[in-house]
Amino acid sequence: MATENSESQNLQSKPILSYIWDIPNLCSLAGLGCTLLAIYFIILEVYSAAMIGMIWAVAFDWADGLIARRMKGRTGADGKFGGQLDLLIDIVSYGVTPALLILSYGKFDPVFLPVAFLMLVAGVIRLSYFSTFGLAGGSKYTGLAIDNNSIFLVFIFLFEGLFNAGTFSIILCACGLGLAALNVSQIKTPKLSGNPINVFILAAYTLGITIIYGWDFL
């Protein structure tokens, strides 16, 4: 315990708010802002706008990691703080937000609470596992990374108009439970956000999604 405290004291070299001005952390906070907008529009049942917020949250999340790896002069404290900031934001962006989407689309009927709860449980377990053990073999995730949940749900929502509300609620629940199972599975998946090419693919996907849902929203 004394060793952990001394390590924390050694890392604590700057005032709390000074970490805001770190560019990767600004990206992370921008993503949190997009998540807040997504939650706001989910509650209002303006799902087109919510989908835009959800996918931009992923885009900023991926961008902050890419920027952090390319920046020079970042200290160990900067990296550790950024990692903790990412983890906490991920809980909101990829755990709370998708669960709230399920509840909102189901008109907050209590029958959807178990699905939302299981999605939240899988999300926090997945993040806790990664925070503790990191990448398997240094290159792959154990279980599906939960940012993929938002990427997939935003895509699925493109087909909402093909179904009535009741049927699509069931589809969303099935997708949510399937994603939750994959989050805590033992499958090994690559770290997509670590590849600059994948970041650019996500950027193109984000712009495409923004145009499609933005047109519908307007």
Share of the chain above pLDDT 70, in %: 93
For position 82, what pLDDT does the model report? 84
For position 161, what pLDDT does the model report? 92
Report if pTM > 0.75.
Answer: yes
What residues form DSSP beta bridges with 189? 141
Region 107-115 average pLDDT: 96
Which pLDDT band holds residue 13 (cuts at 50, 70, 90)? Answer: low
For position 66, what pLDDT does the model report? 79
For position 198, what pLDDT does the model report? 87
Domain 21-217 has CATH 3.40.50.10070: no
For position 126, what pLDDT does the model report? 95
Region 97-125 average pLDDT: 97
Q: Is the pLDDT of residue 7 over 50?
A: no
pLDDT tens, position by position, 138-172: 788 999 999 999 999 999 999 999 999 999 999 99
Provide CB contacts within 8 A for 112, sequence distance 6+: 102, 103, 106, 169, 173
Q: Is the pLDDT of residue 89 over 90?
A: yes
Contact 162, 199 (CB under 8 A): no
Q: Is the pLDDT of residue 2 over 50?
A: no
Is residue 209 helix, strand or coil?
helix
Is residue 103 helix, strand or coil?
helix
- In 3D space, the residue among 199, 189, 192 whose CA is nearest the CA of residue 67 turns out to be 199
Q: Is the pLDDT of residue 196 over 60?
A: yes
Contact 41, 70 (CB under 8 A): no
Share of the chain above pLDDT 90, in %: 66
For position 184, what pLDDT does the model report? 96
For position 76, what pLDDT does the model report? 75
